[in-house]
Structure 1
């Protein structure tokens, strides 16, 4: 008997995998991933989610969870790719369609966002997040009547859903209906007085109407709640339109507001 050549290695025994057992392991792993996401541990969730798609590639749930993680981490191309695989496996699942629509919105492809969100809402018409996303997509496309109608649908589902009421105010302002916009922002303020956005919007509207003292007071309250709203780019990301942004730019140049921003900047940097 010849001795094995130097460097030769024996391969370990590899049993044939049972496809059903492997798929079950993938689904179980996906459940673990969901738990990790609930505990805000995406760094542990991602590699497990990737493995789950290998173990159960024909289950839409594994691709849905993986795509969701990618989107949350701003890896939109990877996220959309995974979500599209999920959609092919479950073309009429509303969760897949709505998540894919949200991903397209974040990518800036608002028409594709509308298509997927509408398809998802046709199946699950009371999905509040989907309705809000669809309203936002219509807003970005400049389709104001459709946006308002969709926001109103979300408020019918959940009357205290202030973000939709707030965004109708954003549209009203761009349409020149400042009084109508302020009424809506006051309504959201009553729902949740700890939200900076409607407070600042009211402040800007009052400032443009010459009510400087009240405007400054409200503006200081808003920025003390959340100093990010002094950043015009942040406001644009939150769907503030051209007219409101222009008026806000003038408002935040007021010496009192500038002084407050200067005081808040160090604390904002620490965060």
Structure 2
């Protein structure tokens, strides 16, 4: 059984209005064309020059339409209709193209002509009913839909449009009753149940909606739209296993349906079943090596697993296949940045900027890369471009303040951030960066004031809690309050390595070295090359008398930060020389 996709459900009814005639004999003339009984060479009488010309333009219109030359086809059908105004077949072809071109008024005029010639064409009643419904004339629309159903009971579209019209007027029972009549036709029951499910969902009757979706799938196990809808409901209900089972059941009999396998992949990624997701993506790529979406997903899944080299391999392949895809280009640049391929990343983000000239993100990430490289002049230049594209985005202002502070241009940074705070006084990101800049300028009392203000505004601001608690620990003041603040920060962001380092350092300052070591070692798990964390661990081992361990961590600290004079002094106190000296 062929798959029914959502795009099939509302196929414009006019697509089947007329059969394209062949051009090799009298039998090719469309039924209803006056020239059927009078085509030259047919051996029948009654041919006129006008009818022959009409037929010629009709065939030329069919050929032009098939070749995608819509405007040319419309002209040919208009000429044919003028030459043979009694042919409803010509008018129906013209009507289809007028609709396709968005010429609704012309289409309406053509439809009226068809009605006069042949009022028993079901599809013309459907068109008129649809138009009247759009004009908010439901009573007249329903009569035409009903007449269309009488003339062609097997046509799906008038049932659906009639049900929608009843629904818009609030007559739910008639809407459902219309679809029940459609469901009585065995071949159309799946679609009928699907639309009944949609109506019940809009009524807020989720149980009935679920029931009708299941019925639709029972009638047609390959009904993709119903399966996709039901799977989404299962996900919302917190039953992803049911959604997965549904997709896999479909794929057993429709294994070639890539779109469903991609839906399954998205579900698996949400559930963090990355290996299983990759297996499904491999199946897609084995059949469709050029599927850029599958390559993109394979890259994203590998990136989630922090397999950045593998992720970049797939992303680059996707980019080759879709060179003008902005999102893929940005992903490639992001992976290059994570792999410290900074010059490549700058080039790639530059390509993204050309693809989307009004997007600020490429310029922002170029600034981030330059800042990472220590080239803050270039960082500022690109950051300013980003701000010009998104002047109200506070994260850009905050980052510019940080870059200016890194350049020791503290007054400029403070002016910039304070102006931002005046415009958005409740923006904690600007306040937070402002507090940091004051600290770096040496005005900790101002920093303390700002951080307390942030915490009062937003008690869940874990970064402000952590910053203030750690700063107090560094200064050896307010240690009890520091402990309380940092614990709150860790409760708000469990497992954050930098907060665990802060908590360990507060315990160190309190002289609770065993507890300090516990959290500092946990912090190392997420920041194994961070010189601050390594130095703190070395200090703690020294305090508890494990000098070998202290030396080991001090040496590792110097490897990560060769210019750390404090650690050099600590090593010398322990009678050790820094590694390599």
Q: Whole-Å Cα distance in 1 between the matches of residues 337 and 392 of structure 2?
A: 25
Q: Whole-Å Cα distance in 2 between the matches of residues 147 and 201 of structure 1?
A: 19
**Which residue of structure 2 aligns with residue 153 of structure 1?**
351
1:258 aligns with 2:451: yes
**Which residue of structure 1 aligns with residue 327 of structure 2?**
129
SS in 1 for 2:323: coil
**Which residue of structure 2 aligns with residue 92 of structure 1?**
290
Alignment of 1:1-271 (within 5 A): 22=221, 24-25=222-223, 27-29=224-226, 31-32=228-229, 36=232, 41=236, 43=238, 47-57=242-252, 58=255, 59-216=257-414, 218-219=416-417, 221=420, 224-225=426-427, 227=429, 254-255=447-448, 257-266=450-459, 268=461
Partners of 2:432 and 2:451 within 8 A in 1? no
Distance 1:228 1:210, change over 3 A: closer
Distance 1:247 1:49, change over 3 A: farther
Partners of 2:370 and 2:376 within 8 A in 1? yes
**Which string of whole-angstrom CA distances, capped at 9 and with x for unpartnered residues, describes residues 141-172 of structure 1?**
11111111111111111112211110110111
SS in 2 for 1:80: helix
Partners of 1:168 and 1:184 within 8 A in 2? yes
Q: Whole-Å Cα distance in 1 between the matches of residues 278 and 317 of structure 2?
A: 16
Q: Whole-Å Cα distance in 2 between the matches of residues 229 and 102 of structure 1?
A: 34
Q: CA deviation at 1:91?
A: 2.4
Distance 1:114 1:192, change over 3 A: same
**Which residue of structure 1 aligns with residue 148 of structure 2?**
none
- When Rg is computed on C-alpha atoms for both structures, the one with the higher figure is 2
Q: Whole-Å Cα distance in 2 between the matches of residues 145 and 76 of structure 1?
A: 30
Partners of 1:67 and 1:79 within 8 A in 2? yes
Distance 1:250 1:84, change over 3 A: farther
Which ranges in structure 2 are unaligned for 5 or more consecutive residues?
1-219, 463-491, 493-581
When the two chains are superposed, the root-mean-square deviation of aligned CA atoms in Å is: 3.7
**Which string of whole-angstrom CA distances, capped at 9 and with x for unpartnered residues, describes residues 73-110 of structure 1?**
54434433433333334322111111221221122111
Which ranges in structure 1 are unaligned for 5 or more consecutive residues?
1-20, 232-245
**Which residue of structure 2 aligns with residue 235 of structure 1?**
none
**Which string of whole-angstrom CA distances, capped at 9 and with x for unpartnered residues, describes residues 31-64 of structure 1?**
4269x49xx9484777335412321241222221
Q: Whole-Å Cα distance in 1 between the matches of residues 273 and 321 of structure 2?
A: 27
Q: Whole-Å Cα distance in 1 between the matches of residues 282 and 304 of structure 2?
A: 15
Distance 1:250 1:145, change over 3 A: same
Partners of 1:50 and 1:66 within 8 A in 2? no
SS in 1 for 2:459: helix
SS in 2 for 1:193: coil
Distance 1:230 1:55, change over 3 A: farther
Q: Whole-Å Cα distance in 1 between the matches of residues 292 and 354 of structure 2?
A: 20
Q: Whole-Å Cα distance in 1 between the matches of residues 439 and 313 of structure 2?
A: 34
Partners of 1:100 and 1:116 within 8 A in 2? yes
Q: CA deviation at 1:259?
A: 3.5
Partners of 1:195 and 1:225 within 8 A in 2? no
**Which string of whole-angstrom CA distances, capped at 9 and with x for unpartnered residues, describes residues 212-261 of structure 1?**
34423544648954649969xxxxxxxxxxxxxx999958x744553444
**Which residue of structure 2 aligns with residue 13 of structure 1?**
none
**Which residue of structure 2 aligns with residue 242 of structure 1?**
none
Q: Whole-Å Cα distance in 2 between the matches of residues 196 and 125 of structure 1?
A: 31
Distance 1:207 1:125, change over 3 A: same
Q: Whole-Å Cα distance in 2 between the matches of residues 110 and 117 of structure 1?
A: 10
TM-score relative to the length of structure 1: 0.70
TM-score relative to the length of structure 2: 0.35
**Which residue of structure 2 aligns with residue 17 of structure 1?**
none
Q: CA deviation at 1:199?
A: 1.5
